[in-house]
C-alpha cells in the first residue's frame, strides 16, 4: 500500500516537473501598444523624432516596413487584433457599434490562458463588440505579469495612451515645447498655419514621452530577469493624429510601426537577425494567429488572418486590406487595398467630402485653422482637396508619393495596376462577405435579432448584386442611369438604397429618376426614405425632402437619425423646418457622446440657433 502511494506521489511530482518545464519552454509575450501614431520614429527614418529607446529596440529586433491596421481608428482596429477577424465580415466596422459576434469567435488571449499562460491587459480594451472577460487573468490599470505563478508563461499588454489624439486638444505654451514648431516639416496637404505647426510639434513631444514610457517597460522586463524569455512586440493601434491621418484610409491612417524583438533562446522563431528590416506585408488580421503560432497552439478556422511567425507561419500575403465606415457621427464608406508599391482606394460615398465635421477631430486647434484657410481661399490644390468631394477611385505610388496626394487612377500608364487592385478589392469584398454595404440603420435592426456574420451567410444578403449596384452607383457614369432607375424598384431594400446613392452621386444628371425617387419618400425602409430625400434636394424638392428628413428624426433607430442629420447639415438654412424636431431630439437625448446629439448640436450651432 505504501509503495503504491509512493509511486502515485512520484508520478504526480514528475508530471508537475514536466508541466513546469513545458511551460518554461513557451515564450513569454509582451505587447507594448502606443496609440494613434504613424511610424514617426528615428528608426523609421524620421530625423525630427526623438525616440532613442525604440530606435535602440529596433537594433535588437526586426523592423516591419509594411505593417498595417485594418481600420484607421482604434475600436475597429482593436476588434481585428483581439479576434483575428475582419470587422466588415462581422458587422463591427463602425465606431463603437458593439454588435455581438458568434460564440465561436473568442478573444485570442483566452486560448493562451487555457494553455497555461497568465494573461494581463493594462488597460485599454475598446474592442467594438461585447466584452469577453474570461480572456484575461487581469485587466485593469494595475494589471501586471508579476502576479503570475512561478514559472508560468505570460502574455501581457501595456497600452500607452500619451500619444492619443486627445493629447493635442489643449495646446501647451510654445515655450514648453521640446520640438520647435518652425522646424516641423509639414506634409504637403497641410497649410503652414501657426496652429498646425504647434499641433505637430506638440504631437512629436507626445511621441517622445511615449518612447520614454516604452523604454521604462523594457527596463522593467530586464530588471525582472525576463528579457531572455520574452518576445516583445511594439506597435501602434492606428496611424495619426493630425487631420487626414487617423480615420482616413491613406498611409497616414493605416500604416503603423511594428518592431519585434526575439531573445536568443527563441531566435528560431525570428524572421531575421537583430537589426533586420523586412518588407513583408502584415496586417492586424495576422496578429492573433501569429501569437497562437508562437505559443504552439492551433489556429481556429474562423480567423481570417494568416500567421507570419512560428511553426504555423503561412506564405506571405500579397495585399493588406483596409476599410472606413461610420466615424463617430459621420456616415462614410471606403475600402482600400495595399501591395508593396501601390495603394488603391474605392470611395463608395464620393459625394461626401473628406472633411465632414467631426466634433472630436475638430477639438485639435489645427483643424479649425485648416478650415479657416479653406474658407478664405488661401489653400493650394493639394491642401484644398480635403474639403472637396472624393473621386470614386484613388491610386497612389507609395514609393514616389508617400503622402498620397497624386491620384493616378485616371492615368493610362497605370491602367493595368488600377485594374489589378480594383479586382483585388472586389474579390475581397465577396470573399470576406462584407456586410458594411448594408446601411447601418438596417444593420443595427438586423443585429438586434441575428448575428451579422450569420445573416451574411444565410442567403438573405444579396452580396453580389449589392456590390455590383454600389460599383455602378459610385462610378459617376451617366450611362448607367437606366440601370440605377431599374434598381430603384428592386425588392431588396439594400439594392434600392445603393441605387438611390447612385442618383445622389450623379446630381442633376439623374433628373430622369425624379418620379421614382418621389415614390421612395414613402419606402418601408427609413434609410431608403432618407437617401431619396437627399437625392431630391438636388432637384429643388426642398419641402418634401426636409419633411421626410424631419420625420426620420423621430425614428427609434439612432443610426437613422444620424443619417438624416448628416443630410440636413448640408443644406444650411433650408433645414429650418426640421429645427423643432432637432430640438426635441436634444431634449430626449442628453448624452454628448451620442452621435445623433453631436450631429444635431452642430446643425443648430451653424444656424446660430
Would you please indicate which residues are annotated as catalytic (active-site) residues? 74
Q: How far from 228 is each of 56, 91, 224, 264, CA to CA, in Å?
A: 17, 41, 10, 7
From CA 446, how far away is CA 461, in angstroms rounded? 11
From CA 57, how far away is CA 46, in angstroms rounded? 16
From CA 436, how far away is CA 323, in angstroms rounded? 9
The x, y and z cell numbers of residue 582, run together, are 432637432
Task: List all residues 6 or more positions away from 467 whose beta carbon is below 8 Å from its beta carbon.
Answer: 426, 429, 430, 434, 437
DSSP letter assigned to residue 330: B
The x, y and z cell numbers of residue 534, run together, are 437627399
Question: Which segments of 553-592 does DSSP mark as H helices, in order?
Answer: 558-569, 579-588
The separation between the first and the last C-alpha atoms of the chain, rounded to the nearest angstrom, is 90
DSSP 221-249: HHHTT-GGGEEEEEEESS---STTSTTSS
**Helices and strands per DSSP (H, E), number in the chain:** 22, 12
The x, y and z cell numbers of residue 379, run together, are 489653400
Contact 518, 548 (CB under 8 A): no
The x, y and z cell numbers of residue 165, run together, are 489624439
From CA 114, how far away is CA 363, in angstroms rounded? 43
Environment class of residue 540 by beta-carbon count within 10 Å: exposed (0-12), middle (13-18) or buried (19+)?
A: exposed
Cα angle for residues 254, 258, 264 (degrees, 5° grid): 165
The x, y and z cell numbers of residue 175, run together, are 515655450
Amino acid at each position: 500500500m505504501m509503495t503504491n502511494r509512493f509511486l502515485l506521489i512520484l508520478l504526480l511530482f514528475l508530471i508537475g516537473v514536466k508541466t513546469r518545464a513545458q511551460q518554461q519552454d513557451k515564450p513569454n509575450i509582451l505587447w507594448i501598444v502606443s496609440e494613434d501614431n504613424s511610424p514617426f520614429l528615428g528608426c523609421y527614418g524620421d530625423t525630427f523624432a526623438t525616440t532613442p529607446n525604440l530606435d535602440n529596440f529596433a537594433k535588437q529586433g526586426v523592423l516591419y516596413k509594411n505593417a498595417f491596421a485594418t481600420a484607421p481608428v482604434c475600436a475597429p482596429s482593436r476588434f481585428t487584433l483581439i479576434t483575428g477577424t475582419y470587422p466588415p465580415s462581422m458587422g463591427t466596422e463602425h465606431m463603437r457599434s458593439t454588435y455581438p459576434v458568434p460564440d465561436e469567435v473568442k478573444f485570442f488571449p483566452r486560448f493562451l490562458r487555457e494553455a497555461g499562460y497568465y494573461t494581463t491587459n493594462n488597460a485599454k480594451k475598446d474592442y467594438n463588440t461585447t466584452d469577453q472577460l474570461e480572456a484575461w487573468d487581469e485587466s485593469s490599470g494595475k494589471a501586471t505579469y508579476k502576479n503570475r505563478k512561478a514559472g508560468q508563461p505570460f502574455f501581457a499588454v501595456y497600452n500607452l495612451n500619451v500619444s492619443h489624439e486627445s493629447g493635442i486638444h489643449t495646446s501647451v505654451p510654445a515655450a514648453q515645447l521640446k520640438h520647435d514648431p518652425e522646424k516641423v516639416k509639414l506634409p504637403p496637404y497641410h497649410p503652414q498655419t501657426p496652429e498646425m505647426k504647434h499641433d505637430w510639434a506638440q504631437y512629436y513631444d507626445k511621441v517622445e514621452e511615449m518612447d520614454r514610457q516604452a523604454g521604462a517597460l523594457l527596463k522593467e522586463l530586464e530588471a525582472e530577469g525576463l528579457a531572455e524569455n520574452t518576445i516583445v512586440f511594439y506597435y501602434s493601434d492606428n496611424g495619426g493624429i493630425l487631420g487626414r491621418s487617423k480615420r482616413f484610409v491613406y498611409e497616414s491612417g493605416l500604416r503603423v510601426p511594428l518592431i519585434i524583438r526575439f531573445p536568443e533562446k527563441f531566435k528560431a522563431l525570428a524572421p531575421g537577425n537583430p537589426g533586420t528590416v523586412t518588407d513583408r506585408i502584415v496586417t492586424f488580421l495576422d496578429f492573433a494567429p501569429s501569437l497562437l503560432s508562437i505559443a504552439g497552439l492551433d489556429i481556429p478556422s474562423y480567423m481570417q488572418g494568416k500567421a507570419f511567425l512560428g511553426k504555423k507561419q503561412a506564405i506571405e500575403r500579397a495585399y493588406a486590406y483596409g476599410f472606413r465606415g461610420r466615424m463617430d457621427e459621420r456616415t462614410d464608406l471606403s475600402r482600400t487595398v495595399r501591395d508593396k508599391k501601390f495603394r488603391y482606394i474605392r470611395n463608395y460615398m464620393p459625394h461626401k467630402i473628406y472633411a465632414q465635421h467631426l466634433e472630436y477631430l475638430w477639438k485639435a486647434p489645427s483643424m479649425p485653422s485648416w478650415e479657416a484657410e479653406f474658407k478664405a481661399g488661401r489653400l493650394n490644390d493639394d491642401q484644398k482637396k480635403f474639403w472637396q468631394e472624393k473621386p470614386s477611385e484613388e491610386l497612389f505610388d507609395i514609393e514616389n508619393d508617400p503622402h498620397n496626394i497624386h491620384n493616378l487612377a485616371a492615368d493610362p500608364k497605370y491602367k493595368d495596376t488600377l485594374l489589378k487592385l480594383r479586382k483585388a478589392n472586389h474579390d475581397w469584398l465577396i470573399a470576406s462577405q462584407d456586410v458594411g454595404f448594408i446601411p447601418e440603420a438596417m444593420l443595427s435592426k438586423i443585429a438586434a435579432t441575428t448575428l451579422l456574420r450569420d445573416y451574411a451567410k444565410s442567403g438573405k444578403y444579396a452580396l453580389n448584386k449589392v456590390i455590383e449596384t454600389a460599383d455602378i452607383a459610385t462610378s459617376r457614369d451617366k450611362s448607367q442611369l437606366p440601370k440605377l432607375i431599374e434598381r430603384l424598384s428592386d425588392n431588396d431594400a439594400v439594392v434600392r438604397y445603393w441605387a438611390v446613392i447612385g442618383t445622389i452621386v450623379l446630381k442633376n444628371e439623374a433628373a430622369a429618376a425624379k418620379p421614382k425617387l418621389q415614390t421612395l419618400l414613402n419606402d418601408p425602409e427609413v434609410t431608403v426614405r432618407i437617401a431619396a430625400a437627399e437625392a431630391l434636394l438636388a432637384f429643388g424638392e426642398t419641402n418634401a425632402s426636409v419633411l421626410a428628413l424631419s420625420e426620420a428624426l423621430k425614428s427609434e433607430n439612432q443610426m437613422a437619425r444620424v443619417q438624416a442629420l448628416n443630410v440636413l447639415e448640408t443644406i444650411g438654412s433650408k433645414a429650418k423646418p426640421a429645427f423643432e424636431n432637432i430640438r426635441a431630439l436634444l431634449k430626449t437625448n442628453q448624452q454628448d457622446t451620442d452621435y445623433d446629439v453631436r450631429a444635431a448640436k452642430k446643425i443648430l450651432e451653424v444656424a446660430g440657433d
